[in-house]
Chains A and B, each alone.
Chain A
Protein backbone atom coordinates (compact mmCIF):
# COMPACT_ATOMS: atom_id res chain seq x y z
CA UNK A 1 0.00 0.00 0.00
CA UNK A 2 0.93 3.60 -0.33
CA UNK A 3 0.61 5.62 2.83
CA UNK A 4 -1.77 8.24 1.50
CA UNK A 5 -4.77 8.81 3.72
CA UNK A 6 -6.38 11.77 1.95
CA UNK A 7 -8.21 10.98 -1.30
CA UNK A 8 -9.46 14.45 -2.00
CA UNK A 9 -9.34 17.95 -0.55
CA UNK A 10 -12.86 19.30 -0.85
CA UNK A 11 -12.26 22.83 0.36
CA UNK A 12 -9.71 24.86 2.25
CA UNK A 13 -9.04 28.36 3.50
CA UNK A 14 -5.35 29.18 3.90
CA UNK A 15 -4.23 29.41 7.51
CA UNK A 16 -7.71 28.47 8.71
CA UNK A 17 -9.39 25.24 7.79
CA UNK A 18 -9.65 22.36 5.37
CA UNK A 19 -12.09 19.58 4.58
CA UNK A 20 -11.00 16.36 2.94
CA UNK A 21 -12.25 12.86 2.40
CA UNK A 22 -10.98 9.30 2.49
CA UNK A 23 -12.93 6.32 1.25
CA UNK A 24 -12.55 3.26 3.39
CA UNK A 25 -12.47 0.12 1.29
CA UNK A 26 -12.47 -3.56 2.22
CA UNK A 27 -9.37 -4.07 0.05
CA UNK A 28 -7.33 -1.93 2.46
CA UNK A 29 -4.44 -4.15 3.56
CA UNK A 30 -4.53 -3.20 7.22
CA UNK A 31 -8.15 -4.34 7.64
CA UNK A 32 -6.94 -7.96 7.51
CA UNK A 33 -5.25 -7.54 10.88
CA UNK A 34 -7.53 -4.84 12.31
CA UNK A 35 -9.31 -6.89 13.25
CA UNK A 36 -9.44 -10.50 12.09
CA UNK A 37 -13.14 -11.20 11.42
CA UNK A 38 -14.03 -7.62 12.36
CA UNK A 39 -12.69 -5.06 9.85
CA UNK A 40 -12.82 -1.47 11.12
CA UNK A 41 -10.74 1.57 10.22
CA UNK A 42 -8.01 1.82 12.89
CA UNK A 43 -8.33 4.93 15.05
CA UNK A 44 -4.73 5.88 14.42
CA UNK A 45 -5.29 5.68 10.65
CA UNK A 46 -8.09 8.22 11.11
CA UNK A 47 -5.58 10.28 13.07
CA UNK A 48 -3.12 9.87 10.19
CA UNK A 49 -5.77 11.07 7.72
CA UNK A 50 -6.35 14.14 9.92
CA UNK A 51 -2.61 14.80 10.22
CA UNK A 52 -2.09 14.47 6.46
CA UNK A 53 -4.93 16.87 5.73
CA UNK A 54 -3.57 19.35 8.32
CA UNK A 55 -0.14 18.95 6.75
CA UNK A 56 -1.53 19.80 3.29
CA UNK A 57 -3.11 22.90 4.83
CA UNK A 58 0.28 23.86 6.30
CA UNK A 59 1.76 23.29 2.84
CA UNK A 60 -0.62 25.61 0.98
CA UNK A 61 -0.66 28.16 3.84
CA UNK A 62 3.16 28.39 3.75
CA UNK A 63 3.13 29.01 -0.01
CA UNK A 64 4.33 25.44 -0.57
CA UNK A 65 7.41 25.74 1.65
CA UNK A 66 6.67 23.44 4.61
CA UNK A 67 4.66 20.46 5.63
CA UNK A 68 3.93 19.42 9.20
CA UNK A 69 4.69 16.41 11.36
CA UNK A 70 2.83 15.51 14.52
CA UNK A 71 4.65 16.87 17.56
CA UNK A 72 1.95 16.70 20.22
CA UNK A 73 -1.49 15.28 20.67
CA UNK A 74 -3.86 16.73 23.27
CA UNK A 75 -6.75 14.29 23.09
CA UNK A 76 -8.52 12.19 20.49
CA UNK A 77 -11.79 10.37 21.19
CA UNK A 78 -13.14 7.53 19.11
CA UNK A 79 -16.92 7.45 19.50
CA UNK A 80 -17.93 4.89 16.93
CA UNK A 81 -16.41 2.48 14.40
CA UNK A 82 -15.70 3.52 10.82
CA UNK A 83 -16.39 0.58 8.53
CA UNK A 84 -15.40 -0.47 5.01
CA UNK A 85 -17.75 1.08 2.46
CA UNK A 86 -18.01 4.30 4.42
CA UNK A 87 -16.52 7.62 3.42
CA UNK A 88 -14.73 9.61 6.08
CA UNK A 89 -14.93 13.38 5.94
CA UNK A 90 -12.07 15.00 7.82
CA UNK A 91 -12.41 18.60 9.01
CA UNK A 92 -9.37 20.43 10.29
CA UNK A 93 -9.43 23.87 11.93
CA UNK A 94 -6.27 25.76 12.79
CA UNK A 95 -6.40 27.41 16.21
CA UNK A 96 -3.05 29.19 16.19
CA UNK A 97 0.05 29.42 14.04
CA UNK A 98 3.53 30.54 15.09
CA UNK A 99 7.04 30.30 13.71
CA UNK A 100 7.51 26.71 14.93
CA UNK A 101 4.25 25.08 14.06
CA UNK A 102 0.48 25.07 14.20
CA UNK A 103 -2.11 24.04 16.77
CA UNK A 104 -5.38 22.64 15.43
CA UNK A 105 -8.51 20.69 16.17
CA UNK A 106 -10.33 18.26 13.92
CA UNK A 107 -13.12 15.77 13.55
CA UNK A 108 -14.01 12.81 11.39
CA UNK A 109 -17.57 12.40 10.14
CA UNK A 110 -19.35 9.75 8.15
CA UNK A 111 -22.35 11.55 6.68
CA UNK A 112 -23.79 13.57 9.57
CA UNK A 113 -22.41 11.29 12.25
CA UNK A 114 -19.34 12.49 14.09
CA UNK A 115 -17.18 9.43 14.63
CA UNK A 116 -13.96 10.86 16.00
CA UNK A 117 -13.05 14.11 17.74
CA UNK A 118 -9.57 15.50 18.08
CA UNK A 119 -9.66 18.34 20.59
CA UNK A 120 -6.13 19.60 20.03
CA UNK A 121 -2.88 18.64 18.41
CA UNK A 122 0.23 20.35 17.22
CA UNK A 123 2.20 20.00 14.00
CA UNK A 124 5.82 21.05 13.77
CA UNK A 125 6.88 22.59 10.45
CA UNK A 126 9.26 20.59 8.32
CA UNK A 127 10.77 22.19 5.19
CA UNK A 128 9.36 20.44 2.14
CA UNK A 129 12.73 20.01 0.42
CA UNK A 130 13.98 17.86 3.30
CA UNK A 131 11.26 15.24 2.87
CA UNK A 132 9.75 15.39 -0.62
CA UNK A 133 10.34 16.74 -4.09
CA UNK A 134 8.78 20.23 -3.78
CA UNK A 135 7.36 20.36 -7.31
CA UNK A 136 5.88 16.88 -7.11
CA UNK A 137 4.30 17.70 -3.75
CA UNK A 138 2.79 20.88 -5.19
CA UNK A 139 1.44 19.02 -8.24
CA UNK A 140 -0.05 16.39 -5.99
CA UNK A 141 -1.72 19.02 -3.84
CA UNK A 142 -3.38 20.50 -6.94
CA UNK A 143 -4.44 17.01 -7.96
CA UNK A 144 -6.08 16.45 -4.56
CA UNK A 145 -7.98 19.75 -4.77
CA UNK A 146 -9.05 18.94 -8.34
CA UNK A 147 -7.41 22.08 -9.76
CA UNK A 148 -5.14 20.19 -12.13
CA UNK A 149 -4.56 16.67 -13.34
CA UNK A 150 -1.42 14.96 -12.08
CA UNK A 151 2.03 14.41 -13.56
CA UNK A 152 2.35 13.56 -17.24
CA UNK A 153 -1.23 14.55 -17.88
CA UNK A 154 -0.62 18.04 -16.51
CA UNK A 155 -0.32 19.69 -19.93
Chain B
Protein backbone atom coordinates (compact mmCIF):
# COMPACT_ATOMS: atom_id res chain seq x y z
CA UNK B 1 0.00 0.00 0.00
CA UNK B 2 1.01 3.56 -0.48
CA UNK B 3 0.91 5.78 2.50
CA UNK B 4 -0.91 8.88 1.33
CA UNK B 5 -3.94 9.25 3.56
CA UNK B 6 -5.50 12.24 1.84
CA UNK B 7 -6.22 12.67 -1.87
CA UNK B 8 -6.42 16.43 -2.18
CA UNK B 9 -6.52 19.64 -0.24
CA UNK B 10 -9.61 21.80 -0.60
CA UNK B 11 -9.00 24.67 1.83
CA UNK B 12 -6.01 26.21 3.52
CA UNK B 13 -5.64 29.22 5.79
CA UNK B 14 -1.94 29.79 6.60
CA UNK B 15 -1.17 29.23 10.28
CA UNK B 16 -4.80 28.40 10.97
CA UNK B 17 -6.27 25.40 9.20
CA UNK B 18 -6.25 22.92 6.36
CA UNK B 19 -9.06 20.84 4.96
CA UNK B 20 -8.60 17.79 2.77
CA UNK B 21 -10.51 14.92 1.24
CA UNK B 22 -9.85 11.20 1.47
CA UNK B 23 -11.97 8.94 -0.70
CA UNK B 24 -12.22 5.50 0.81
CA UNK B 25 -12.37 2.76 -1.79
CA UNK B 26 -12.64 -1.02 -1.59
CA UNK B 27 -9.49 -1.15 -3.72
CA UNK B 28 -7.35 -0.08 -0.73
CA UNK B 29 -4.77 -2.60 0.37
CA UNK B 30 -5.67 -2.16 4.01
CA UNK B 31 -9.08 -3.74 3.44
CA UNK B 32 -7.24 -6.99 2.73
CA UNK B 33 -7.82 -8.87 6.02
CA UNK B 34 -9.44 -5.86 7.71
CA UNK B 35 -11.68 -7.71 7.73
CA UNK B 36 -12.38 -10.90 5.81
CA UNK B 37 -16.17 -10.47 5.71
CA UNK B 38 -16.71 -6.76 6.39
CA UNK B 39 -14.36 -4.07 5.13
CA UNK B 40 -13.81 -1.42 7.82
CA UNK B 41 -11.17 1.28 7.68
CA UNK B 42 -8.63 0.71 10.46
CA UNK B 43 -9.02 3.47 13.05
CA UNK B 44 -5.27 4.17 13.31
CA UNK B 45 -5.31 5.08 9.61
CA UNK B 46 -8.09 7.61 10.25
CA UNK B 47 -5.72 9.15 12.81
CA UNK B 48 -2.96 9.07 10.19
CA UNK B 49 -5.23 10.85 7.71
CA UNK B 50 -5.89 13.66 10.20
CA UNK B 51 -2.20 13.74 11.17
CA UNK B 52 -1.04 13.96 7.54
CA UNK B 53 -3.48 16.79 6.88
CA UNK B 54 -2.08 18.51 9.97
CA UNK B 55 1.51 17.91 8.89
CA UNK B 56 0.82 19.35 5.46
CA UNK B 57 -0.83 22.42 7.02
CA UNK B 58 2.19 22.98 9.28
CA UNK B 59 4.75 22.53 6.50
CA UNK B 60 2.91 24.91 4.19
CA UNK B 61 2.32 27.44 6.97
CA UNK B 62 6.07 27.58 7.64
CA UNK B 63 7.01 27.75 3.95
CA UNK B 64 8.62 24.28 4.02
CA UNK B 65 11.12 25.30 6.64
CA UNK B 66 10.03 22.39 8.77
CA UNK B 67 8.59 18.97 8.28
CA UNK B 68 6.33 17.78 11.06
CA UNK B 69 7.22 14.51 12.79
CA UNK B 70 4.50 12.85 14.86
CA UNK B 71 5.41 12.85 18.56
CA UNK B 72 2.23 12.32 20.48
CA UNK B 73 -1.51 11.85 20.01
CA UNK B 74 -4.02 12.70 22.75
CA UNK B 75 -7.67 11.94 23.26
CA UNK B 76 -9.09 10.50 20.10
CA UNK B 77 -12.66 9.26 19.84
CA UNK B 78 -14.20 7.23 17.04
CA UNK B 79 -17.91 7.66 16.61
CA UNK B 80 -18.77 5.32 13.79
CA UNK B 81 -17.07 2.93 11.36
CA UNK B 82 -15.74 4.16 8.02
CA UNK B 83 -16.51 1.96 5.03
CA UNK B 84 -15.64 1.81 1.34
CA UNK B 85 -17.58 4.48 -0.56
CA UNK B 86 -17.30 6.99 2.29
CA UNK B 87 -15.68 10.33 1.59
CA UNK B 88 -13.70 11.53 4.57
CA UNK B 89 -13.40 15.27 5.04
CA UNK B 90 -10.28 15.91 7.10
CA UNK B 91 -10.09 19.10 9.10
CA UNK B 92 -6.85 20.16 10.75
CA UNK B 93 -7.04 23.18 13.03
CA UNK B 94 -3.77 24.68 14.18
CA UNK B 95 -3.57 25.17 17.95
CA UNK B 96 0.05 26.34 17.87
CA UNK B 97 3.13 26.42 15.66
CA UNK B 98 6.61 27.40 16.83
CA UNK B 99 10.25 26.50 16.15
CA UNK B 100 10.26 23.40 18.31
CA UNK B 101 6.89 21.91 17.55
CA UNK B 102 3.26 22.20 16.60
CA UNK B 103 -0.17 21.22 17.89
CA UNK B 104 -3.14 20.34 15.73
CA UNK B 105 -6.74 19.45 16.48
CA UNK B 106 -8.12 16.97 13.97
CA UNK B 107 -11.58 16.03 12.77
CA UNK B 108 -12.76 13.49 10.24
CA UNK B 109 -16.29 13.81 8.87
CA UNK B 110 -18.47 11.78 6.54
CA UNK B 111 -21.59 13.53 5.17
CA UNK B 112 -21.24 16.30 7.74
CA UNK B 113 -21.14 13.84 10.63
CA UNK B 114 -18.00 13.66 12.78
CA UNK B 115 -16.63 10.10 12.67
CA UNK B 116 -13.40 10.77 14.53
CA UNK B 117 -12.04 13.59 16.64
CA UNK B 118 -8.48 14.03 17.91
CA UNK B 119 -8.13 16.71 20.58
CA UNK B 120 -4.38 17.12 20.21
CA UNK B 121 -1.85 15.84 17.72
CA UNK B 122 1.65 16.94 18.65
CA UNK B 123 4.51 17.19 16.16
CA UNK B 124 8.17 17.93 16.44
CA UNK B 125 9.28 20.41 13.81
CA UNK B 126 12.30 19.06 12.04
CA UNK B 127 14.23 21.69 10.05
CA UNK B 128 14.56 20.87 6.36
CA UNK B 129 18.22 20.88 5.22
CA UNK B 130 18.82 23.22 2.28
CA UNK B 131 19.72 20.46 -0.17
CA UNK B 132 16.40 18.72 0.50
CA UNK B 133 14.14 21.78 0.43
CA UNK B 134 13.24 21.50 -3.26
CA UNK B 135 12.57 17.78 -2.95
CA UNK B 136 10.37 18.24 0.14
CA UNK B 137 8.49 21.07 -1.54
CA UNK B 138 7.86 18.89 -4.58
CA UNK B 139 6.42 16.08 -2.49
CA UNK B 140 4.08 18.44 -0.64
CA UNK B 141 2.88 19.88 -3.95
CA UNK B 142 2.37 16.32 -5.22
CA UNK B 143 0.07 15.32 -2.35
CA UNK B 144 -1.95 18.55 -2.55
CA UNK B 145 -3.97 17.03 -5.39
CA UNK B 146 -3.86 20.11 -7.61
CA UNK B 147 -4.36 22.61 -4.79
CA UNK B 148 -0.88 24.03 -5.36
CA UNK B 149 0.80 24.84 -8.65
CA UNK B 150 4.34 23.74 -9.48
CA UNK B 151 5.82 26.71 -7.66
CA UNK B 152 3.84 25.89 -4.57
CA UNK B 153 1.31 28.71 -4.88
CA UNK B 154 -2.35 28.13 -4.19
CA UNK B 155 -4.26 27.83 -7.44
CA UNK B 156 -7.23 30.16 -7.26
CA UNK B 157 -10.25 29.01 -9.17
Residues of chain A at the chain B interface (Cβ within 8 Å): 1-4, 29-30, 32-37, 42-45, 47-48, 51, 69-78, 130-133, 136-137
Contacts and interface: CB of A to CB of B under 8 A. Distances in A.
Mostly, the B contact residues are mixed
Interface of B: 1-4, 29-38, 40, 42-45, 47-48, 51, 67, 70-78, 81, 132, 135, 139
B73 A29 contact: no
Contacts of A33: 2-4
A54 B135 CA distance: 39
A43 B42 CA distance: 14
Contacts of B70: 43-44, 78
B20 to A, nearest CB: 16
Contact of A44 (B35, B47, B71, B75): B47
A4 B33 contact: yes
A75 B38 contact: no
A74 B75 contact: yes
Given A2-B33, A3-B32, A132-B35, A72 B3 contact: no
Contact of B74 (A74, A133, A136): A74
A74 B36 CA distance: 28
Given A3-B1, A76-B73, 16 more contacts: A29-B2, A32-B2, A34-B3, A37-B132, A37-B135, A45-B44, A48-B42, A51-B42, A71-B78, A72-B77, A72-B78, A73-B77, A77-B72, A131-B36, A131-B37, A136-B36
